[in-house]
Amino acid sequence: MDTAMRRRRIASLFAALAALRFVMPDTATGAPPGLMPPVFSPQALPYTENALEPYISARTVSFHYGKHHRGYADKLNELVKETEYAALPLEEIVKRTASVKGREAVFNNAAQLWNHDLFWKGMRAGGGGMPGGKLLEMINASFGSFDAFKKEFAGAAVSQFGSGWAWLVEEGGTLRVVKTGNADTPVAHGQNPILVIDVWEHAYYLDYQNRRKDFVAAFLDHLVNWEFAAGRLQQPKARAVTP
CA distances from 202 to 166, 167, 212 (A): 15, 18, 11
Report, as an integer, the average pLDDT of 17-45.
52
- 157/204 Cα distance (integer angstroms): 12
What strand order describes the sheet that includes 164-171? 174-181, 164-171, 192-198
Give me the phi and psi of 77, to 5 degrees please.
-60, -40
Q: Is the confidence at residue 21, as pLDDT, over 60?
A: no
Q: Please give the Cα distance from 185 to 90 (Å, whole number).
A: 13
pLDDT score recorded for residue 6: 58
| Position with higher pLDDT, 35 vs 44 | 44
| Lowest-confidence region among 28-42, 105-119, 141-155, 200-214 | 28-42
- Structure-model confidence comparison of residues 60 and 24, the more confident one: 60
pLDDT of amino acid 236: 53
Per-residue pLDDT, averaged over 5-34, amounts to 42
Q: Average pLDDT of the chain? A: 87
SS3 20: helix
Q: What are the φ and ψ backbone dihedral angles of 139, each rounded to 5 degrees?
A: -65, -45
Which of 187, 204, 234 has the alpha carbon at shortest distance from 56? Answer: 204
Burial of 162 (0-12, 13-18, 19+ CB in 10 A): exposed
Confidence at 214, pLDDT banded by 50, 70, 90: very high
**CB proximity list for 48: less than 8 A, separation 6 or greater:** 58
As a whole number, mean pLDDT of residues 18-26 equals 33
pLDDT band at 39 (very low <50, low <70, confident <90, very high): confident
pTM of the model: 0.82
Contacts of 35 (CB under 8 A, 6+ apart): 26, 87
Question: Region 202-226: what's the mean pLDDT?
Answer: 98
Q: Hey, what amino acid is at 183?
A: A
All domains of the chain in start order, with CATH: 58-121 (1.10.287.990), 133-231 (3.55.40.20)
Write out pLDDT tens, residues 71-100.
999 999 999 999 999 989 999 999 999 999
